[in-house]
Amino acid sequence: MIVFSSLQIRRGTRVLLDNATATVNPGQKVGLVGKNGCGKSTLLALLKGEIAADGGSYTFPNNWALAWVNQETPALDVPAIEYVIDGDREFRQLEAELQVANDNNDGHAIATLHGKLDALDAWTIRSRAASLLHGLGFSNEQLQSPVRAFSGGWRMRLNLAQALVCRSDSAVAGRTHQPPGSGCSDLAGTLAEKLSGHPGADFA
């Protein structure tokens, strides 16, 4: 579980959170609601380890994996499906290590890494990424299109798929508004649908 105890967060002289206490259990879905500047994004940044609390404490299980929806997407030449797979950072790390082991013909390392990849269900990651993208409205042809070819609304969908492709115990999503004229349906509704089936503790 995630526990916030007498938490305080400041921004300059402004107190955003003061003596905040809460417990979030596995499977709970938490919606952060409030006007701009009240501390929603700051709390999410705390969970991601980007900032530290100014007072109190919070605990996040060491063995939990955290996924989050990026709010910006650079204009990359990377194919959409590869960008989504990049969301599983542990898989990409093991993939790189396996390449080194293969180059060195290190049989022991290769066997060890295959065991770790098996535990991640890594051999199905491409089909899982494709399934996520299809569910978000992408065609087969678009899976190989570069990220830079998509509009802002579609890039947000890529970010959502990237966050959901890996196994995680907690997922964090910031604002998922749709840019004007993007031609996409409501991304917030899509996010809610995807998170409803996620077994972890989620914040949005």
Q: Looking at residue 80, what is its pLDDT?
A: 97
Position 175 pLDDT exceeds 70? no
Tell me, yes or no, whether 197 lies in a domain: no
Q: Do 89 and 35 belong together in one domain?
A: no
Q: DSSP letters of 23-88?
A: EE-TT-EE-----TTSSHHHHHHHHTTSS--SEEEEE--TT--EEEE-S------SBHHHHHHTT-
Angle at 135 between CA 157 and CA 86, to 5 degrees: 50
Q: So what's the pLDDT on residue 179? A: 47
Same-domain status, 156 and 122: yes
Indicate whether 38 and 103 sit together in one domain.
Answer: no
Quick: pLDDT tens for 14-52.
899 899 898 888 777 777 777 887 888 888 888 888 889
Burial level of 96, CB count in 10 A (0-12/13-18/19+)? exposed
Is residue 11 in a domain?
yes
Taken in order 99, 161, 194, 52, is the CA torsion positive or negative? Answer: positive
Token pair recorded at residue 23: 């417990």
pLDDT band of residue 183 (cuts 50, 70, 90) is very low
In a domain? residue 195: no
Residue 85 lies in a domain: yes
The pLDDT tens digits of the residues spanning 121-149 come to: 899 999 999 998 998 899 999 999 999 99
Q: Domain tally for the chain? A: 2
* Residue 147: predicted pLDDT: 96
Residue ranges making up the domain that contains 130: 80-165
Write the pLDDT tens digit of every residue in 53-93: 999 998 887 777 777 777 778 889 999 999 999 989 889 99
